[in-house]
Amino acid sequence: MQDNARAFFEQAIATPSPSGYEERIQKLIRDYITPHADRVRIDVHGNLIAEVGNGDGPRLMLAGHCDQIGMLVSHIDENGFVYAQTIGGWDPQQLIGQAMSIWTDSGEVPAVISRKPIHLLNNDERKKVVGLDEMWLDVGANNDQQARQKIRIGDPITLDLQLRPLMNSLVSGPGMDNKTGMWTVIEALRRAKELAGAGGIGCHLHSVSTVQEEIGLRGAKTAAGGIHPDVAIAVDVTHASDCPTIDKNKQGDLRLGGGPVIFRGPNINPKVATRLIELAEANNIPYQLAAIGRATPNDANVLQLHGAGVATGLVAIPNRYMHSAVEAISLEDIDHVAQLLAHFAAALTADDDFTPGGQI
């Protein structure tokens, strides 16, 4: 991984992007990828679309959502304490005692979120799973007027956005879901251009940082409506099973550092999956296989169903502790995913037919 590519990833983790509030991270992405793309644009929904290659070639869409779960300021009480609702799927237990950031028009407002101390809980309260309505954010304000000088209803909130290095090229922090996937599709464009060399890419590649995946796969649906891809590959995280309490019989044997996870199943075009496997083997890229027997809960779902249908693949990044402050991934995995996607884009031509079973 090049130093500037790693710096871009680290900056992305530190940049807030709750669903519906992705402007800050899309600006970061635009600044990084513009020198390598033929065209970069942001559509009315907020998706960032970077293009390169043959405008007359098959349209390939690589989709990685940049949005993360978060919260939204909904009330400020008379004492200046802030109450919030969630954006995306939270386990409220993950929020107790966390350092938080409220992102206002004038910048970051540090906060903490907590509940009544254990010393003051009665027996029934100690046995109960705490609800979101029993927690609040404390910004240190003396009253509501002081809080409202900086904070407005509707301001987005995230966990404290920090990346923590672990052993063996692992890193931990909030937002790995799915800034890792976003990074791979953006980085793949740069690498595909390098692989193709002077001849250029034969396909028309669209690397898309999609928005609002966490609240219903919304950005991928609208982006596909503008691009009309012939082939699409979604990149998202998936649950790693190489930690305690995860059942490999249900989740499969998926390990951090084991390489890209190539999915197979009815939501996946079989020829796209086969091509990804062949490219991984031909280029000595480690990979893992996973199966899903239903519509996927990620951007591949809506991409496959766009228009008259899109030949769709799904490549995933193993992730421990998803939707928490300590999501953990392997830097080697995201590097390998970007390389696999780059090879797919560089190899795609107008002669490729992804019709299952071939034309009849």
Distances (CA, A) of 196 to 59, 182, 188, 190, 343: 16, 22, 12, 10, 9
The C-alpha atoms of residue 83 and residue 321 are separated, in whole angstroms, by: 25
Characterize 62-101 residue by residue with b for buried, 16 or more Cβ atoms within 10 angstroms of its Cβ, and e for exposed. Answer: bbbbbbbbbbbbeebeeebbbebeebbebebebbeebebb
Structure-token match 């939270």, residue found: 90
Q: What is the DSSP letter of 298?
A: S
Out of 22, 51, 213, 214, pick the active-site residue. Answer: 213
CA-CA-CA-CA torsion sign (295, 42, 329, 71) = negative
Pairing type for strands 170-172 and 204-210 reads: unpaired
Q: For this structure, is 281 an active site residue? A: no
Apex 234 CA angle, 233 and 238, nearest 5? 135
Which ranges in the chain belong to alpha helices (H)? 3-13, 23-33, 123-127, 144-148, 176-196, 218-227, 248-251, 270-282, 299-304, 331-347
Q: What residues form DSSP beta bridges with 113? A: 98, 137
Burial class of residue 327 in the structure, from the number of CB atoms within 10 Å of its CB (0-12 exposed, 13-18 middle, 19+ buried): buried
Catalytic residues: 213
